[in-house]
Structure 1
Amino acid sequence: MCHIARVPATVDVAVIGAGVVGAACAWHATRAGLRVSVVDRGPVAGGTTGAGEGNILVSDKPAGPELELAQLSRRLWAEMAAAVRGFEYHAKGGLVVAASEPTRTGLEETAVGQRAAGVEAVAVAADELPGYEPYLARDLAGGIYYPQDAQVQPMLAAARLLADTRAAGAEVRTSTEVTGLLRAGERVIGIQTSAGPIYAGAVVNAAGTWGAEIAAMAGVEVPVLPRRGFVMVTEPLPAVVRHKVYAAEYVSDVASDDAGLQTSPVIEGTESGPVLIGSSRERVGFDRTMSVPILRLLAEQAVRLFPALAGVKVIRAYRGFRPYCPDHLPVIGPDPRAPGLWHACGHEGAGVCLAAATGHVIAATLTGRRAGVDLSPFRPERFG
């Protein structure tokens, strides 16, 4: 870490990370009147954002602080889509299905708490499922429909937000690595990069899966770990899948602490035609090996849910690393252990969903405004 004398800030905010969370932080901060610089060692959306499906979900979150943040984010994404066009925002709704009656009962129990929190959750009987998804398997016990679920194209979202931010006067530096944090005593006053120093009134750690590395530069712990996942992309199809559709087991997989492989069918169409098929989760470090057995398992699960996919070609598959936190909550807000450092990372698979609200609350707290949600569950110092 570099120790230097206090100097005037070059910008108000330096954002580390040009993924969708960093882009949303920069966009909201710029609109709040702050001077912003965004830095990423790779291209825009070159990390987890570029390997995601773009989900904006309330359906997979039980009542609690993450759901509250997701509800704010869902409203903000709709507003951002109107303000910044071109990233394929699609309010298509989500359908969670159960293979057995006990599982369907469990879905309904979760939905009770969600409804009390303001989520729209419509119980769907087994014989009503074809009205939502005509090609869905006919042996399911029922499900819950969530009309508030939506989707964006995540790479386009990050790119469009950053383009709009740059047009408003912000600086975006890609292929620029952060090599250290600048300090004046205990306070973080900027970042040292491969292209030189950037002095800032605040530094925002939006490095996603690599957020722990940035935190360590300040001598603090943020236990973000990589959780690998695979996605397959089919050839363009007619409207075989109308909504985001996933099995109830997906919710428990998201909440699991197990480091081993977990898979559950998650299937959704896109506006351009291809169908996205997931999902898998496993903690194997940053191992980027493409696993054909996992892809085969995902394909088998997808066909069981949508038999019409049996003869469809997969044109590509990709993998990425979700930024996993042990308590399954993101890390958002100022770090009192390192004044001047703010965190916006650890969102796991909900980074796209929660990006809009994360950017909003970071900009609000930076400018002394009300965040609109209670940030205490996400505070960085909760890890000690």
Structure 2
Amino acid sequence: MSRIETADVVVIGAGIIGAACAEALSASGLRVLVVDRGAPAGGTTAGGEGNVLLSDKAPGPELDLAVLSRRLWPELIEALRAELGDEAARVEWEPKGGLVVATDQDAVGPLAILAEAQREVGVEAVELTPDEARAMEPHLTEQVAGAVHYPGDAQLQPVLAATAMLAAVRARGGEVRGGAEAHGLVFDAWGKVAGVHVGRETIACDAVVNACGPWAGHFSVAVGAPIEVLPRRGMVLVTGPLPHVVGRKVYAADYVAAVASSNVDLQVSAVVESTATGTVLIGSSRQRVGFDEALQVEVLRRLARSAVKLFPVLAGVPVMRTYGGFRPYTPDHLPVIGEDPRFPGLWHASGHEGAGIGLAPATGRLLADLMCGRESEVDPLRFKVDRPAVIAEVRT
């Protein structure tokens, strides 16, 4: 394939969000170039657990986006299989459900209130007694005070998913370039985006999508349209392969509060799930430390202790490796999806924090609908760029 010198859209960032946007745009008939300064799917996406969750979101715009995404993921996977073949579209999709556990009585009431609110907007949330929860997960702690089962929660392998979507972009005449850094925009006489500088080249295009994940804020500043997207670090422990220990995603009830918190201090909440290979993933931590990649042993210790509290059987199990990543965080905890009013032709798709894997297909669909002038299935206004939490000029 010849290198693209002119594209309809250039997507900056080849992680799961950039891949989903590129896939949706190319499916709409646009010629798409995806560029990433690193390896495609090699940044935040490679450090993700692959969660597709409804359980951790209160009713509102993010849950609306999550419900749409949960419907779209299986449809998208089947479409990619038909287009690319089974092997190229293998993403390890597991609709295994999730279990949220309260280990003290004080957490039972808030968990039940959240579940009732979610049911009112169509999410399946089944309240369980402690005995029912342990019957579902036999290795669960005896200290269960209450639980809610979410059959709609799922998991996939995020690198495989992003790679499959990027393969579809290529199959439709687009291009994906790794090791290619975008560092500036070109504008026409009316101030509309007309191109982007990539390395030593200038690619002519009608639109540019900032899908740089945790680095979206940096890119926005570099092109003169700053948005408030910040990095929030998370760590994960990976055990060696084990006999069947955990059947679904299981997490402590305080995880929901940690997701919604704006606290800059370290927060750790138990999240435990098995993978298709038999390893167990242990999270979750959240920390505002900029782009500091230094390994912090205390974070790992707290992750391990929280997991053992939920699943005592994990005590003494060897940890094979640990990895971390930076999640793109916005102050109001909502993604930024839409066109920048300051520079027509500049679009943003970032700020999903730890929910990017789950929200990717709906984000791509929403962006493509907006760009192509179609009616969207979710209300785009809550995700708009020019809201006070995202643009400093709006706050002043």
TM-score (norm 2): 0.93
> How far apart, CA to CA, are the structure 1 residues paired with 2:195 and 2:48?
30
Name the residue aligned to 1:278. Answer: 283
Name the residue aligned to 1:5. Answer: none
Contact 1:223 1:325 in 2 (8 A): yes
> How far apart, CA to CA, are the structure 2 residues paired with 1:182 and 1:74?
37
Contact 1:218 1:338 in 2 (8 A): no
What secondary structure sits across from 1:61 in the alignment?
Answer: coil
Deviation, structure 1 residue 371: 1.5
Contact 1:89 1:150 in 2 (8 A): yes
Aligned identity (percent) is: 55
Name the residue aligned to 2:345. Answer: 340
Name the residue aligned to 2:334. Answer: 329
C-alpha distance after superposition, 1:329-377 (max 9, x if no partner): 0000111111101110011111111111000111111211112100100
Contact 2:215 2:229 in 1 (8 A): yes
Deviation, structure 1 residue 113: 1.2
What secondary structure sits across from 2:338 in the alignment?
Answer: strand
Deviation, structure 1 residue 195: 4.2
Unaligned runs of 5+ in 1: 1-8
Is the counterpart of residue 237 in structure 1 residue 242 in structure 2?
yes
Is the counterpart of residue 293 in structure 1 residue 298 in structure 2?
yes
C-alpha distance after superposition, 1:169-216 (max 9, x if no partner): 111011000111111242122210114111111111100001112222
Deviation, structure 1 residue 271: 1.1
Contact 1:187 1:339 in 2 (8 A): yes
Name the residue aligned to 2:375. Answer: 370
**Count of residue pairs the alignment pairs up:** 376
1:1-384 superposed matches below 5 A: 10-84=6-80, 85-185=89-189, 186-382=191-387, 383=391, 384=394
TM-score (norm 1): 0.96
> How far apart, CA to CA, are the structure 1 residues paired with 2:18 and 2:44?
12
Contact 1:176 1:195 in 2 (8 A): no
Contact 1:181 1:217 in 2 (8 A): no
Deviation, structure 1 residue 314: 0.7
Name the residue aligned to 1:3. Answer: none
What secondary structure sits across from 1:381 in the alignment?
Answer: coil
Task: Compute the RMSD of aligned alpha carbons.
Answer: 1.1
Deviation, structure 1 residue 251: 0.5
C-alpha distance after superposition, 1:41-78 (max 9, x if no partner): 00011211111101010100000000000000111111
Contact 2:183 2:223 in 1 (8 A): no
Name the residue aligned to 2:84. Answer: none
Unaligned runs of 5+ in 2: 81-88
Contact 2:196 2:203 in 1 (8 A): yes
Contact 2:104 2:143 in 1 (8 A): no
What secondary structure sits across from 1:140 in the alignment?
Answer: coil
Deviation, structure 1 residue 290: 1.0
Deviation, structure 1 residue 118: 0.7
C-alpha distance after superposition, 1:222-276 (max 9, x if no partner): 1011101100111111221111000011110111111010001001111111110
Deviation, structure 1 residue 311: 2.4
What secondary structure sits across from 1:380 in the alignment?
Answer: coil
